[in-house]
């Protein structure tokens, strides 16, 4: 009896061990890809996986889609747990925090090795993911800010031309302002409002990114003017308090004359406002051509167990058929120049409404701003924006706000 | 026949060591203590794993430079200096937290008024009780969204009523206004918890023997005197409980703030808990967030101590039967 019990116990242990080994092997042949708030992009993702399996048939691909607000928390807990996802779709300046602390894989050697692939990418957009001379990400889809014009409100205000300077833009905004209506609105997250400063000749930092350069008499005058326009309702207050839903929702309501936002806003507010179409909303570059990029890229975690395999997946997703699927699936342009030409033809035939907005995305690429590679981008934003917000909403004088912001930003720039 | 009053074993049953001393486990006290610790052990292990160890690690972290991507380095008091002398947002947020906390008595006073009303013999009192209590089980996220709409500058009910009554001529963006945002969030928080306070206070009211009021009435006490001399003193444990819940709520009202304002405008509605979260997960400053968590914890301990003193200094004490 005791002998049989021993045999059974040994058998159970052997079975468990073999199951665990199989599971470990299965996990070892798997990469995890995290996408940023595109749960609907499943067909395109499946196409990426099919292409990937052609070169790595023994690998499994796990997909996790997360909302932007949840991704940083989740990602950092995974890093602490020692199980970071291999590939992450990341946006804004978040990657800089991770790259500067050694959390992301340096992709420069891969880019140098795969010259054909690297040459396909639009350099101005690819360069957005360089920190201290190293490439940490490659563009998945590209967007930058532009100006949406509510042509109905413009016509009502007797405006028959597009603004060509900051002053003209604000004069037009003033004309369109009235009972329950504002002339102008901007998105404010991720430095998206910075083109308003840049078009007035204000720089945020010096050239070597070591000291704040924004506290000038011109900046004080500009902030005072923007605050005054906000107080009088010419600039909607939501510009300084909302994030994405609120300002775009307000534009969709048809009560805002001009919206400074990035291209993906178009289809969002079109879905909310029945009045929005190619005839009623125009898309143009901000006067002077300045824009803040807000692109998405794919990065590889430093802790990835299969960085070479992950790189193959990244290449598939960001070029050729993979990039085309991305563009068609999300109505965006990509970092792949050749694919973009095909995508524009596709949009003209299938989604003509987005064409004017997307055309602006490939223009004025020498006038990108608000994309400084600060190691502490989030901390600098957090130091600067609340001060500016307080000034815009009349809580502080422009001078006090800029002085306080300068002190805080310089302290961060000098800190370890 | 009376049951034995002592459980001490007979001396002859005790196991003695060679030196003549009774071994620990052989004594009744030893066995009792062992049994108590065995019963306590699972709970203590869970408590240690999920509370004590993380808290201790948090204290260690607050004296280090640390991020998920780098090995830790000793930082001394760097983060505490940052918090106390350089981070002006911290002081504003601490003040917000205190304001949020001291709003609890307002909610308790309102709940007491409602409890007194629904404790009378009015018709349909159960319906009123249900209506007042209904806000409590609602998910905090839903409460946040409801109040966001109520406060909306253009289509909100509150602005509509104020404009209709001629009090204001254009809508107030309550949640975007530096002066109104925190009171607006506090009102939403009180609205949510008032039903809970009411139930606690109602239970307290119903446990007061009616003969006390009858005796007071015979002695010529006015309703106000009865309230002051009978109701309030006897409701003290219930009020204390509501107060403790209010304090805890002010430290944990993360979801309501997150949904309604995200802590803005500026830091006007940030509480310590939301600021700690954003410092850790948005700014990736886990070490600094740990220092603030220690400050938060110390503040909480101080408040618990004060509350305990106010309650007579014996909250949580276990009385032994004589």
Q: Under an 8 A CB cutoff, do B69 and A241 touch?
A: no
Say yes or no: A62 and A197 in one domain: no
At A366, give phi and psi (nearest 5°).
-85, 0
Q: Which residues contact A158 (CB under 8 A, 6 or more apart)?
A: A175
Q: State mean pLDDT over B226-243.
A: 87
The yes-or-no verdict on residue A197 having pLDDT over 60 is: yes
pLDDT in the model for residue B132? 79
Please report whether residue B52 resides in a domain.
no
Q: Which of A8-17, A88-97, B91-100 has the lowest mean pLDDT?
A: A8-17
pLDDT of B312 strictly over 80? no
How confident is the model over B30-44, as a mean pLDDT? 91
Pick the more confident residue, A179 or B259: B259
Contact criterion met (CB < 8 Å) for B266 and A390: yes
Q: Quick one: A213 and A68 in the same domain?
A: no
In-domain check, residue A109: yes
How much is the pLDDT for B88?
A: 86
Is B264–A76 a contact, with Cβ atoms under 8 angstroms apart? no
Instruction: Look at residue B321 and tell me whether its pLDDT is greater than 60.
Output: no
Contact B68 A80 (CB under 8 A): yes
Query: Which run of H or E residues covers position A5?
Result: helix A2-28
Q: Is the pLDDT of residue A313 over 90?
A: yes
- Supply the ipTM of this predicted assembly: 0.75
Task: Find chain B residues with C-beta within 8 A of A102's C-beta.
Answer: 69-70
Q: pLDDT at position B292, please?
A: 95
A257/A316 same-domain check? no
Q: Does a structural domain hold residue A22?
A: no
CB spacing of A76 vs B281 below 8 angstroms: yes
Domain presence at residue B16: no
Q: What is the mean pLDDT of chain B?
A: 85
**Contact call for residues B26 and B268 (beta carbons, < 8 A):** no
Q: Does some domain include residue B138?
A: yes
Of B21 and A140, which is predicted with more confidence?
A: A140
8 Å CB contact of A76 and B284: yes
Does the residue A366 lie in any domain? Answer: no
Same domain, A263 and A386: yes
**Which range in A39-43, A241-245, A352-356, B30-34 is most confidently predicted, on average pLDDT?**
A39-43
Tell me: do A121 and A92 sit in the same domain: yes
* Domain span holding position A332: 30-143+294-361
Asked whether the beta carbons of residue A97 and residue B284 sit closer than 8 angstroms, the reply is yes
In a domain, A14, yes or no: no
Q: Are A375 and A97 in contact (CB under 8 A)?
A: yes
* Distance, CA of B306 to CA of B138 (rounded, Å): 31
How far apart CA B107 and CA B101 sit, in angstroms, is 11
Under 8 Å CB-to-CB from A355, ≥6 apart: which residues? A344, A347, A348
What region does A161 belong to: left with phi over 0, alpha with psi -120 to 50, or beta? beta
**Chain B CA closest to residue A83:** B68
The pLDDT assigned to B6 comes to 46
Q: Look at residue B246 in the predicted model and tell me its pLDDT.
A: 85
CA distances (Å), origin A198, targets A96, A195, A218, A288, B301: 22, 5, 11, 9, 49
- Asked, for residue B196, whether it belongs to a domain, the answer is yes
How many Cβ atoms sit within 10 Å of the Cβ of residue B92? 16
Share above pLDDT 70 across residues of chain B, in percent, rounded to a whole number: 89
Beta carbons of A87 and A313 less than 8 angstroms apart = yes
Instruction: Report whether B242 contacts B105 (CB < 8 A).
Output: no
Q: Is B279 exposed, middle or buried (0-12, 13-18, 19+ CB in 10 A)?
A: buried
Look at residues B47, B103, B55, B124 and name the one whose alpha carbon lies nearest to residue B271: B103
| Domain shared by A150 and A108, yes or no | no
Residue linked to tokens 């937290």: B97
Give the Å distances, CA to CA, from A72 to A38, A310, A412.
16, 20, 21
C-alpha B95/C-alpha B275 separation (Å) is: 13
Q: Indicate whether A395 and A322 sit together in one domain.
A: no
Contacts of A324 (CB under 8 A, 6+ apart): A334, A339, A342, A343, A346
Q: What CA–CA distance (Å, rounded) separates A393 from A387?
A: 10
Residue A99 lies in a domain: yes
Strand partners of residue A259: A148, A185
Per residue in B50-62, pLDDT (tens digit) is: 989 999 999 999 9
Domain count, chain A: 2
Residues A55 and A81 in one domain: yes
Q: Is residue B109 part of a domain?
A: yes
Both A307 and A341 in a single domain?
A: yes
Using CA atoms, how far residue B206 sits from A264, B126, B200, in Å, is 59, 14, 10
User: B86 to chain A: nearest residue by CA?
Assistant: A408
Q: Does residue A368 belong to any structural domain of this protein?
A: no
- Looking at the fold, whether A163 and A279 belong to one and the same domain comes out as yes
Confidence (pLDDT) at B23? 76
Q: Which domain holds residue B159?
A: 87-270
Confidence class for position B304, pLDDT limits 50, 70, 90: confident
Q: List the single range of A68-72, A260-264, A277-281 with lowest mean pLDDT.
A: A68-72
Q: What percent of chain A is predicted at pLDDT more than 90?
A: 78
The minimum CA-CA distance between A228 and chain B, rounded to whole Å, is 16
- Is the CB of residue B265 less than 8 Å away from at least one CB of chain A? yes
Burial of B132 (0-12, 13-18, 19+ CB in 10 A): buried
Q: A60: closest CA among A26, A105, A98?
A: A26
Give the residue-averaged pLDDT of A35-49: 94
The answer on A387 and A354 residing in a single domain is no
Render pLDDT for B12-32 as a digit per residue (tens, 0 to 9). 455 555 666 667 777 888 888
Beta-carbon separation of B284 and A378 below 8 A? yes
The confidence score (pLDDT) of residue B173 equals 86
Please name the residues in contact with A193: beta carbons below 8 A apart, sequence gap of 6 or more: A186, A187, A239, A260, A292
- Hey, which of A196-205, B29-38, B214-223 has the most confident mean pLDDT? A196-205
Cα atoms found within 13 Å of the Cα of residue A260, Cβ hemisphere only: 31
- Bridge partners (DSSP) listed for residue A181: A178
Q: Do A76 and B86 touch (CB under 8 A)?
A: no
Looking up residue A408, the CATH number of its domain turns out to be 3.40.190.10
Per the structure, the count of domains in chain B is 1
Using CA coordinates, name the residue in chain A closest to B178: A395
How far apart (Å, rounded) are the C-alpha atoms in residues B89 and B105? 26
Name the band, by pLDDT with cuts 50, 70 and 90, for residue B2: very low
pLDDT, tens only, A334-384: 999 999 999 999 999 998 888 989 999 999 999 999 999 998 898 899 899
Q: How far apart are CA A274 and CA A256, in angstroms?
A: 15
pLDDT of B284: 84
On whether the CB atoms of residues A151 and A280 are closer than 8 A, the answer is: yes
Tens digit of each residue's pLDDT (9 = 90 or more) over B170-182: 888 899 888 899 9
Regarding whether A249 and A395 lie in a shared domain, the answer is: yes
Q: Look up the CATH number of the domain holding residue B168.
A: 1.10.3720.10
Going B124 to B127 to B129 to B132, the CA torsion angle's sign is negative
Residue B264: which of A80, A101, A241 has the nearest Cβ?
Answer: A241
Q: How far is Cα B235 from Cα B216, in angstroms, rounded to an integer?
A: 17
The helix (run of H) or strand (run of E) holding residue B287 is: helix B286-310
What's the gap in Å between the CA of A301 and the closest CA on chain B?
A: 10
Interface residues on A facing B, Cβ-Cβ cutoff 8 A: 72-73, 76, 79-80, 97-98, 101-103, 180, 237-238, 240-243, 253, 302, 376, 378-379, 382, 386, 389-390, 393, 395, 411, 416
């Amino acid at each position: 009896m005791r002998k049989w019990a021993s045999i059974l116990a040994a058998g159970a242990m052997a079975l468990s061990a073999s199951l665990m080994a199989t599971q470990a092997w299965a996990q070892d042949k798997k990469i995890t890809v995290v996408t940023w708030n595109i749960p609907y992009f499943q067909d395109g993702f499946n196409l990426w996986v099919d292409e990937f399996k052609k070169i790595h048939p023994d690998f499994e691909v796990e997909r996790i889609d997360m909302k932007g607000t949840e991704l940083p928390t989740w990602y950092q807990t995974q890093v602490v747990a020692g199980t970071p996802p291999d590939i992450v779709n990341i946006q804004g300046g978040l990657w800089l925090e991770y790259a500067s602390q050694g959390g992301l894989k340096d992709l420069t050697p891969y880019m140098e090795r795969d010259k054909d692939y690297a040459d396909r990418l639009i350099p101005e957009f690819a360069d957005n993911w360089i920190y201290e001379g190293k490439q940490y990400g490659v563009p998945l889809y590209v967007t930058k800010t532009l100006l949406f014009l509510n042509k109905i409100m413009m016509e009502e205000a007797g405006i028959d031309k597009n603004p060509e300077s900051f002053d003209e833009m604000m004069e037009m905004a003033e004309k369109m302002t009235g009972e329950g209506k504002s002339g102008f609105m901007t998105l404010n997250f991720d430095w998206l409002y910075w083109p308003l400063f840049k078009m007035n000749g204000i720089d945020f930092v010096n050239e070597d990114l070591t000291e704040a350069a924004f506290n000038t008499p011109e900046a004080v005058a500009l902030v005072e003017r923007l605050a005054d326009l906000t107080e009088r309702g010419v600039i909607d207050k939501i510009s300084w308090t909302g994030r994405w839903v609120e300002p775009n929702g307000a534009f969709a309501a048809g009560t805002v004359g001009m919206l400074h936002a990035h291209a993906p806003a178009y289809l969002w507010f079109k879905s909310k406002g029945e009045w929005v179409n190619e005839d009623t909303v125009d898309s143009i570059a901000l006067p002077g051509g300045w824009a803040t990029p807000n692109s998405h890229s794919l990065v590889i975690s430093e802790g990835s167990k299969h960085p070479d395999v992950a790189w193959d997946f990244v290449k598939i997703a960001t070029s050729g058929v993979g990039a085309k699927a991305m563009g068609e699936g999300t109505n965006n342009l990509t970092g792949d120049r050749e694919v973009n030409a095909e995508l524009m033809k596709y949009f003209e035939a299938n989604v003509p409404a987005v064409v004017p907005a997307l055309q602006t995305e490939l223009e004025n690429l020498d006038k990108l701003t608000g994309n400084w590679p600060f190691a502490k981008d989030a901390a600098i934003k957090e130091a600067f924006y609340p001060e500016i917000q307080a000034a815009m909403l009349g809580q502080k004088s422009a001078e006090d706000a800029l002085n306080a912001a300068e002190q805080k930003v310089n302290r961060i720039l000098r800190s370890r | 026949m009376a049951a034995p009053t002592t459980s001490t074993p007979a001396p002859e049953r005790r196991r003695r060591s060679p030196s003549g001393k009774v071994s620990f486990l052989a004594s009744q006290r030893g066995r009792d203590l062992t049994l108590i610790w065995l019963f306590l052990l699972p709970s203590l292990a869970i408590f240690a794993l999920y509370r004590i160890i993380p808290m201790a690690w948090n204290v260690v972290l607050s004296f280090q430079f640390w991020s998920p991507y780098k090995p830790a380095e000793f930082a001394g008091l760097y983060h505490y200096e940052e918090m106390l002398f350089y981070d002006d947002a911290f002081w504003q947020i601490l003040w917000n937290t205190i304001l949020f906390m001291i709003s609890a008595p307002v909610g308790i006073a309102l709940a007491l008024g409602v409890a007194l009303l629904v404790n009378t013999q009015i018709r349909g009192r159960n319906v009123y009780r249900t209506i007042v209590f209904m806000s409590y089980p609602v998910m905090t996220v839903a409460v946040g969204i409801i109040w966001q709409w109520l406060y909306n500058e253009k289509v909100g009910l509150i602005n509509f009523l104020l404009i209709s009554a001629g009090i204001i001529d254009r809508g107030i963006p309550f949640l975007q206004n530096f002066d109104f945002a925190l009171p607006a969030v506090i009102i939403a928080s009180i609205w949510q918890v008032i039903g809970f306070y009411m139930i606690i206070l109602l239970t307290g009211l119903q446990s007061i023997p009616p003969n006390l009021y009858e005796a007071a009435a015979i002695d010529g006490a006015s309703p106000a005197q009865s309230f002051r001399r009978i109701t309030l003193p006897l409701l003290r444990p219930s009020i204390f409980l509501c107060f403790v819940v209010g304090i805890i709520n002010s430290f944990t009202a993360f979801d309501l703030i997150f949904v309604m304002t995200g802590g803005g405008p500026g830091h006007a509605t940030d509480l310590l808990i939301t600021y700690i979260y954003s410092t850790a997960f948005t700014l990736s400053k886990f070490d600094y967030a740990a220092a603030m968590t220690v400050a938060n914890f110390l503040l909480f301990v101080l408040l618990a101590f004060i509350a305990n003193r106010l309650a007579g200094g014996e909250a949580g004490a276990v009385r032994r039967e004589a």
